[in-house]
Copies of this chain bind each other. A is one copy, B any other.
């Protein structure tokens, strides 16, 4: 029996749709790995040596300039695929934001396996196309939205993304949630400074649009107002 049998993302990750024998083979080339919050899994510009499925936790994908500016270019949630198959180098670093569990494969093994399993490649293609859509809409945010629109959009996206990561079905967007990001990380995601992020959070709180019970907790009080601000 493979560990895939009890995998919580078995029906959502790219391995869904594989039959028992295929899963067995895939299981034999992959292994579970725990990553603690803050620990890197993949380095930017390194040889692309491994790829992975996220089982549990949240990870950030980042690119950096030589002088240390950082931009978060993606966020991976459970069932997401990370890493760069079919390529020599990764264009982004991957670092765990929370303690996480992933199912890792050597890139070579994965590439070979994928080429032999069109159904898996198809799942990966659908996922990559969806990620490209999301990334493009984030470009709109980075290039054309102001600070308050960025923050509002961010909070709404968090409320959506963090809602269905649990097991409960279609609960809709979360009203209250715990951010997997520090203020600095929010800044790196939105292309702002930490001070601007902080000021915008304070403003939303003062305007009665959100509650901020603690540094990481957010409660959306007036969702409609947020939608307005998001533009």
Contacts and interface: CB of A to CB of B under 8 A. Distances in A.
B139 A91 contact: no
A219 interface: no
B70 A139 contact: no
Contact of A71 (B70, B74, B115, B143): B143
Contacts of A131: 132
Interface string A186-224: 001011000000000000000000000000000000000
Contact of A143 (B85, B87, B137, B191): B191
A129 B87 contact: yes
A28 interface: no
A138 interface: yes
Contacts of A135: 132, 135-136, 139
A112 interface: no
A86 B129 contact: yes
Interface residues of A, number: 43
A190 B140 CA distance: 10
Interface string A120-150: 0110111011111101111110111100000
A219 to B, nearest CB: 27
B136 A63 contact: yes
Given A84-B129, A85-B129, A139 B138 contact: yes
A210 B128 CA distance: 38
18 contacts: A63-B136, A63-B139, A66-B231, A67-B231, A70-B144, A71-B140, A73-B139, A86-B129, A91-B136, A91-B137, A118-B121, A124-B125, A125-B128, A132-B135, A135-B135, A135-B136, A143-B188, A143-B190
